[in-house]
Amino acid sequence: MRFLVAVLLLSFSVAGVGQTLVFEDVRLVDVDSNAVGDPVRLGVRNGFIVDAESIADPDLVVADTGYLIPGLAEMHAHVPPMRLGDALVQDTLMLYLAHGITTIRGMLGEPGHLTLRQQLASGEIIGPRLITSGPSFNGNSVSSPDAARQMVRAQTEAGYDLLKLHPGLWPEAFHAIAETAEALGIDYSGHISTAVGLDRTLASRQGSIDHLDGYGQKLVPEDHPLYGTDPGLFAVNLVEGMDKALIPELARRTAEAGIANVPTQSLLENWASGDVEALFEREAMRWVPAQTREQWRNAIDNIRARVPEGQGERFIEIRRALLAALHEAGATILLGADAPQILNVPGDAIHHELEIYVEVGMSPAEALATGTTNIARYLDQPAHGCLEAGCVADLVLLAGNPLSDIRNTRQIQGVMRAGQWVDRERLDAELDAIAERASQ
């Protein structure tokens, strides 16, 4: 009988269901109150946090002392298309997880990602929880308002979690998307098309504005020669005409509209500022396949050529000022870096993003909130982003206190996703294997 029970437990633990685990002597990081508690015992059963005293004989005890935070979310992530192969998809998912990310919002979905979402939810594939958009709504994919309505209905029926807006939409199509999505109760988020503009977006119930898109045009005063001219990607053509004095009002209006922002600031900083070679020499680049590195090399040369001479630093500075103002105004910021877009290595990029948030004036606790409690509120999922009994056991164990230095979010001793514990040794083995595959 004992033997049978042991066998059952083993098969359960492989599937990640039913496993019980106790963390000994962990300090819980309370993001909301900006405080770290005294060491406690914390129990996990069936993928949820429970009172440790209710577990008499845990399957696993984690005795490492450290700081426990809720798992992070990357709200502007990309999952590679399935046609690029299972290995690349699973390596990408593992990179997210190994960097403490237990939820990703895939911002360019496809039917295969719906299956993947299920495989991740069941523990069949180890990786973060996947929230996925459907295929893109843009000027090419949406031919008319009727076609837009039809697309919204089809994607909602297919089971996608949200709709992804890309550039090129006309106001009529945007309104058709918004109206149908609101009627069906599905989120629509992403870019702001030039013809749609920030004003229409703030008057809508769009979930999130990604990349701080749409603000740049509104920072050019009406009497400036650049006003109303082709903004280029993220308004990079308009940098010379932007007036920072207009930022606070836009931030205030965003907070009032209740629309969140996913800044993906690290992506834009890769594009426009600093030393490109230093970016290519980052240690995290070892996990990037040679072919992708090559693509990034070509893309970055191309993009930098489009940033007006000498305007890169100012572009970044204005975006940072906008991010700071949005935060000060009380607008919701959701953590998102846009990996694996150019020079944003999945997982690693989110830590750069967090560091930027602190550099613009958030406290480390506020920066952590963008990836934890803010996400739970945005998604209306109160069992996420928390560390109490009843919360989903999506956790990251850190060696150092992230409230004293945000860079301590990189000191990961292990990650738990829905009760499945992946310790440092296993993470290192996975990361080494990814680096090995990437080098071939």
Q: Which residues bind Zn ion (CB under 5 A)?
A: 107, 338
The least CB distance from residue 338 to Zn ion, in Å, is 4
Nearer to Zn ion, 264 or 374 (CB): 264
Cβ distance 94 to 61 under 8 Å? no
Minimum distance from residue 7 beta carbon to Zn ion (Å)? 45
- Looking at the Cβ atoms of 165 and 365, the one nearer to Zn ion is 165
Ordered DSSP codes for 181-240: HHHHT-EEEE---TTTHHHHHHTTT-SEEETTTTHHHHTS-TTSTTTTS---GGGGGGGG
> Which distant-in-sequence residues (6+ apart) come within 8 Å of 112 by Cβ?
81, 82
Q: Which is nearer to Zn ion, 107 or 368 (CB)?
A: 107
Q: Which is nearer to Zn ion, 66 or 336 (CB)?
A: 336
Cα(51)–Cα(153) distance, integer angstroms: 43
Report, in Å, the least distance between residue 235 CB and Zn ion. Answer: 17
* Strand 162-165 with 129-132, pairing: unpaired
Burial of 162-197, coded b for 16+ CB within 10 Å and e otherwise, reads bbbbbbbbbeebbbbbbbbbeeeebbbbbbbbbebe
Q: How far is the CB of 437 from Zn ion (least distance, A)?
A: 24
The residue with its CB nearest to Zn ion is: 338
Q: Output the smallest distance, CB 249 to Zn ion, in A.
A: 28
Identify which of residues 76 and 149 has a Cβ nearer to Zn ion in the complex: 76
Name the packing angle between helices 247-257 and 312-329 (round to 10°).
50
For residue 272, which amino acid is it? A
**Nearest-approach distance from CB 336 to Zn ion, in angstroms:** 9
CB of 161 or CB of 338, closer to Zn ion: 338
- Cβ distance to Zn ion smaller for residue 107 or 318: 107
Distance CA 301, CA 350 (A): 23
User: Minimal CA–CA distance to 325: which of 396, 261, 234?
Assistant: 261
User: Alpha-carbon distance 423 to 408, whole Å?
Assistant: 17
Query: Least Å distance between CB 255 and Zn ion?
Result: 24
